[in-house]
Chains A and B, each alone.
Chain A
Amino acid sequence: MRKKEMMAMLLAGGQGSRLGILTRNVAKPAVTFGGKYRIIDFPLSNCINSGVDTVGVLTQYQPLRLNQHIGIGIPWDLDKRNGGVTILAPHVKGGGDSGEWFMGTANAIFQNIEYIDSNNPEYVLVLSGDHIYKMDYSKMLEFHKENNCAATIAVMEVPIEEASRFGIMNTESDDRIYEFEEKPANPKNNLASMGIYIFTWERLREALIEDSKIHPDSDFGMHIIPKMLEEGQTMYAYRFKDYWKDVGTIESYWQANMELIKTLPEFNLYEDFWKIYTNSDHQPPQYTAAGAKLSTSLASEGCEVYGEVYNSVLGPGVIIEKGAVVKDSIIMENTVVGENCYIDRCIIDENCSIGNNVKMGTGENIVNESKPKIYNTGITVVGDNTVVPSNVEIGKNCVIYGNTIESDYPSNKLESGKSIIKEGASL
């Protein structure tokens, strides 16, 4: 039987509900980032760059875009005869007439034991498709082998006052883990789990099977890690010191994009030896017309700028028409911003059409009425495939989704904090 030293299981089924309308039609890992990428490109590229060429991608929430994006893995060179990428969706099991959703992170892996066994790995790398970072998993594997671990957990040092927001590893002086606490009220340590684990497959396999009998919603942080610690299995924390971002909220998503446009960004996409790969229909260059302005911005393939763009990230195929001003905004793939628009601090998702003379992101900073926890930092968000008619003014913390027409905007206005969701959509 063929043998893989290490394969990866990438958890990509989460919705990422705090990203609001951005994850209405796609799972969080399929949300675009940095113009041309999708969040899942980062762990997938890390895999192939680390020499991990067998990756199972577990999908559950809104998998269509993710499936289309990953395909057979060509952009990441994961179209392999032996290994490669496999999309693993919840399914009806043989012998029964009903299927089961993935009920928890560990349960999702448990339900795919057969797939893992078929690759016969020594070690299994468990990843989530939610984070922006570059990491050499092969170094982490070295560490895992040196310490003869059952599990190695990648950790970041976080400020101790923020530690209660994370899963915290309590460790001995040599980073051996003796306790795991999920969001502790009084943290004893500042090493936060990054949701990146390497398990010795034999150990994990046993734990998954045993735990499945007790917890149908088996979770790594809640059940598997504490269980293995209790049994006295060797677990080490692997310290990671480079850039790592969770882009889980509208504000943090916007911030992380904006960091990329700094003259010397902390996260460098431009180095050759650790490329981030993505699936892109667009290969043509980007065009800036005479009289246009484009400064402190990223512009992806095939986008055309006739207006002015400042401090913004433009996705592939975006068109900014004449006289339009776009600042501090994220405009995603194939969206068209009409003539003489003024767009300030907005996120406009893929394939949107913004009419002429639209003002967006103006007025007072009033939090969103229906989802104050999601839209509260002044950023107005437009969902994918949305149409915004000409000559309307839209405030801050607004949400717009669907084919909106003039009559949806009383006296051509949408006040700050209001939402328009069309086509029977709910937020």
Chain B
Amino acid sequence: MKAIGIILAGGNSENLGTLTESRAAAAMPIGSSYRAIDFTLSSMSSSGIGKVAVITQYNSRSLHDHLTSSKWWDFGRKQGGLFVFTPYTSRNNNSWFRGTADSIYQNLTYLKRSNEPYVVITSGDTIYKMDYKEVIKYHVEKGADITVVYKNMEGKDLSKFGILEMDENKKLCEFEEKPLQAQSTNASLGIYVISRTLLINLLNQIIPEGRYDIVKDIIIRFRKKLNIYGYEFNGYWSSISGGVKDYYDTNIDFLNKEVRDVFMKQAPYIETKPKDEPPAKYNLGAEVSDAIVGSGSILNGKIEHSVVFRKVYTGEGSTVKNSIIMEGSYIGNNCVVENAILDKDVVLSDGKSVIGEEGNPVIIKKGTVI
């Protein structure tokens, strides 16, 4: 079944503090080599979705930088391709996107000019790998109007999610956004399948009424009127925009073999923009233990239980522990970095220390020189 994709990458993630001061959450660096949106883009591509729109608004420059060429995800084709939409002004429209539904409505032409019967809507700041073909197949089999992908989040903080209540046929009965008292542990992953014409009709109906949100104004409002079904996803899934701890934990998850295997060893792989860095170099005296290291890095000191991105330099006698070191950061000789997130291009002069608390990593802003 043919489908087009829409990736909502416009959200402003205030929860990530200075990390998203100059970049969109979807452009956040993940797991040494990737950006958050790579996971969704790669899933789209490997699910045979050849036409994808990325809708962005806040700090879109970083994302544009990453998406300058679509060929890495195999979207640069005559049929389909990768579309990046930002808000624009025209004679009868001069507003920013007023909500998720509105951001699609303002680019309705994209939907109208397509002929694929289905639309897969996702967010750009979640880390997972999914075969949307299976979701679409399920959607068709169920005769659903909308399919919402959910995951059982037992033991997690459910008040951060939209919670689904379904009958035995997985048909949606109730949907509560960020409940105080969750009625089930099935949390929406913000991934929807809907027929293209239905989406156009719904948007044409709700936007003039001043309703702009997919969850509130489509899923919740139409939960009884439309046939909405849940599709259960059991794989690894993590959202980074909940807060710094979520971002930190998601990166540290890549030290687990199972997580690495899912994304890096089992086809389809996660693709990203190649940076053509040489292999990581471990000099005499480098002691690396339980760490992932990006290409182009040159390591001299000690690294433990950490995620090191590309082109990082660590000096002799320095220690990096329980930390995330982003691309291009320089750690001089005899430095100590513990429980910290060093954003891109941070420079630590010889002998300096950056130490945070366990569970509450300290963030050093992009380009800081200490």
- Give me the interface of A with B, judged by CB distance under 8 Å: 34-36, 74-75, 261, 263, 269-270, 275-278, 280-281, 283-302, 313-314
**Known contacts A74-B71, A270-B296, A300-B295: A295-B284 contact under CB 8 Å:** yes
Q: Which residues of A contact B278 (CB under 8 A)?
A: 34-36, 269-270, 276, 298
Instruction: For A284, give its contact among B33, B279, B285, B309 (CB under 8 Å).
Output: B33
CB distance from A229 to the nearest CB of B (A): 41
Given A75-B274, A284-B264, A286-B292, decide whether A299 and B280 contact each other with a Cβ distance below 8 A: yes
Interface size of B in residues (CB-CB distance below 8 Å): 41
Query: In the complex, what distance in Å separates the CA atom of A261 from the CA atom of B307?
Result: 23
A-side interface mostly: loop
Instruction: Compute how far the CA of A302 lies from the CA of B289 in the bound complex, rounded to whole angstroms.
Output: 16
Given contacts A35-B279, A300-B280, 6 further A-B contacts (CB under 8 A): A275-B276, A285-B31, A288-B292, A288-B293, A289-B290, A297-B282
- Which of B274, B283, B291, B293 is in CB contact (< 8 Å) with A283? B274
Please tell me if B233 contacts chain A, counting CB pairs below 8 Å.
Answer: no
- Tell me whether B264 and A289 are in contact (CB under 8 A): no
25 contacts across the A-B interface (CB closer than 8 A):
A34-B278, A34-B279, A35-B278, A35-B279, A263-B283, A277-B276, A283-B34, A284-B31, A284-B32, A285-B32, A285-B308, A286-B280, A287-B255, A288-B290, A288-B291, A290-B289, A292-B289, A293-B287, A295-B284, A295-B285, A296-B282, A301-B33, A302-B265, A313-B279, A314-B279
Write the residues of chain B forming the contact surface with A, with a CB cutoff of 8 angstroms: 31-34, 71, 254-255, 260, 263-265, 269-272, 274, 276, 278-296, 298, 305, 307-309
- Contact partners of A299 in chain B: CB under 8 A: 279-280, 282, 293
State A294–B294 Cα separation when bound (angstroms): 15
Whether the Cβ atoms of B291 and A263 lie closer than 8 Å is no
- Residues in B with CB closer than 8 Å to A288 are 288-293
The reply to whether B279 and A294 contact each other, CB–CB distance below 8 Å, is: no
Known: A299-B279, A314-B279. A280 touches B294 (CB 8 A): no
Question: Residues of A contacting B263 with CB < 8 Å?
Answer: 284
Residue of B nearest to A287 (CB): B292
CB neighbours (8 Å) of B271 from chain A are 283
Q: A283-B272, A286-B295, A287-B260 are in contact. Are A300 and B279 (CB under 8 A)?
A: yes
Q: Which residue of A lies closest to B263 (CB)?
A: A284
A345 to B353, CA, bound (A): 40
**Cβ-defined contact, A263 with B276, below 8 A:** no
For residue A276, which residues in chain B have a CB less than 8 angstroms away from its CB? 276, 278
Q: A295 to B289, alpha carbons, bound, how many Å?
A: 12
Contacts of A296 in B (CB 8 A): 282-284, 286
B309 to chain A, nearest CB (A): 8
CA distance A286 to B291 in the complex (A): 8
Give A265's nearest chain B residue, CB to CB: B281
B279 touching A301 by the CB < 8 A rule? yes
The answer to whether A285 touches B279, judged by C-beta atoms less than 8 angstroms apart, is: no
Residue of A nearest to B294 (CB): A285
Name B71's closest neighbour in chain A (CB-CB).
A74
